[in-house]
Chains A and B, each alone.
Chain A
Amino acid sequence: MSSVAYKQADYKSDVKPIWCPGCGDYHVLMSFGRAFAQLGLPPEEVVVVSGIGCSSRIPAYTNCYGFHGVHGRSLALAAGLKVTRPDLTVVVASGDGDGYSIGGNHFLHACRRNVDMTYVVMDNHIYGMTKGQPSPTTEPEFDTALSPGGTKVRPFHPLVVALASGANFIARCFSGDPNQTADVLAQAIKHPGFSFVEILSPCVTFRPDEKAWKDQVHPAPVTETSDQGKAARRLMTDDGFNLGILYRGNRTPYQPAAGATNVDLSELEKDFEL
């Protein structure tokens, strides 16, 4: 934390986003800046790591350190970074395709491992960048050119999966409320361990129906809980539009074994010499 008063604009880079006008990800970018400013985080002490997809372009639009990584592998990158540089604030950005499909396996194990970082998934229930294929959260009946009549496949329930896998903080936000999103992100960053924040972020190009989300979202009618059983019941009966912090656990974050980060790299390199 810093005594300098930062403002949202301090976290914005000179790179102009190429998202579609009306895209929810603009709001998410705004929320990142507001959350970092709220916490007084110097931009050079924050790292935004991402995979591939519309949402994963976000590191370039921030003035923080960034790593635009491999599809679905952002969590692995971020975990390695956080373990070796625990002094940095690590925020990982992803989408429902990158995070739940290509990176689904990493998602499970990142929750389980509980490294102290924040995972933000901008969920628009579609692959936007590659032009509208169904993603793991697409509704079964949603008709696309590649899935006429819908996939008929049950959507992934990321919050339930996160809880079952051990995430230590679980929340849902709506991109159209950037202040509330910023507040939740700030709390997620502050909370020790692996924090998972799903942000419903409409794709106005391939899912124009999602413009209606602003009328469907609502604050969760319950207060946050640290009871996993209670959280599980709530999340399993969740309508997908409950907003707020839905679970705040108290697991101890992962710590690498003593000395594990103090390795002489030249010794390691010897193992790879030809």
Chain B
Amino acid sequence: MSKSPGTPKVANLHDLLAVAYQIEIDAVDRYNLLADQMETHNNPELVKVFRDLARAESIHGEEIRRMAGDFDVAAHARQIARFEHSDSPEEAELGAAHYLMTPWHALQLSLAGEKRALAYFTSIVETTKDPKVKEMAAELVEEEAEHVSLVHRLLRRYPKPSDSWADDLDPPVSQE
């Protein structure tokens, strides 16, 4: 059994699949929320980046659902997959959003999320006594490691912006 304080209990393969599924779904919701924010604040480049990230996570979620076969992984996730003291590992940090953020910032958020997911599944591999859970968690570790590499590759397209990225020529000013 794998259980860290505040993280869902992973006692068997169904639990692991449910948690893995929920992690992806939470990431989809978060990226879509960020895309909505960017839409409202007229940052179309970021809308596309966040929607693409949401789509990618959604595909991962569907893959996990397929791996679960006839087992209703979504229903089980609703019952057990709750992270008590923090966001779900792949959820991008909501408080880090800024209306002038760039794709580099978005990918940094994504990278941090993938790394948290990698650490989470690694901890399951290291602590579980169930060989089936260990085997599946190891697969998930490999996948998350691939995602980390993918985000690193995407980052090559988007160099770090200059320190003035948040400068706004028409800033929200305090009322005089």
Contacts and interface: CB of A to CB of B under 8 A. Distances in A.
13 contacts: A16-B39, A20-B172, A21-B38, A21-B41, A22-B94, A24-B95, A131-B173, A132-B175, A178-B87, A179-B82, A179-B83, A179-B86, A205-B172
A21 B97 contact: yes
A62 B33 CA distance: 14
Interface string B80-114: 00111111000000111111010000000000000
A232 interface: no
B85 A21 contact: no
A202 to B, nearest CB: 7
A22 B33 CA distance: 11
Interface residues of A, number: 31
Interface residues on B, range: 20 to 34
A131 B78 contact: no
Chain A binding surface, main DSSP class: loop
B34 A21 contact: yes
Q: Give the interface SS of chain B, mostly helix, strand, loop or mixed.
A: loop
B174 A144 contact: yes
Interface of B: 29, 33-34, 36-41, 78-79, 82-87, 94-99, 101, 172-176
A20 B41 CA distance: 8
A9 B174 contact: no
A76 to B, nearest CB: 28
Nearest to B88: A179
Contacts of B29: 9
Interface in A1-23: 5, 7, 9, 16-22
Contact of B175 (A131, A180, A204, A214): A131
Given A130-B175, A179-B83, 9 more contacts: A5-B79, A17-B36, A19-B37, A20-B172, A21-B97, A26-B33, A133-B174, A144-B174, A204-B95
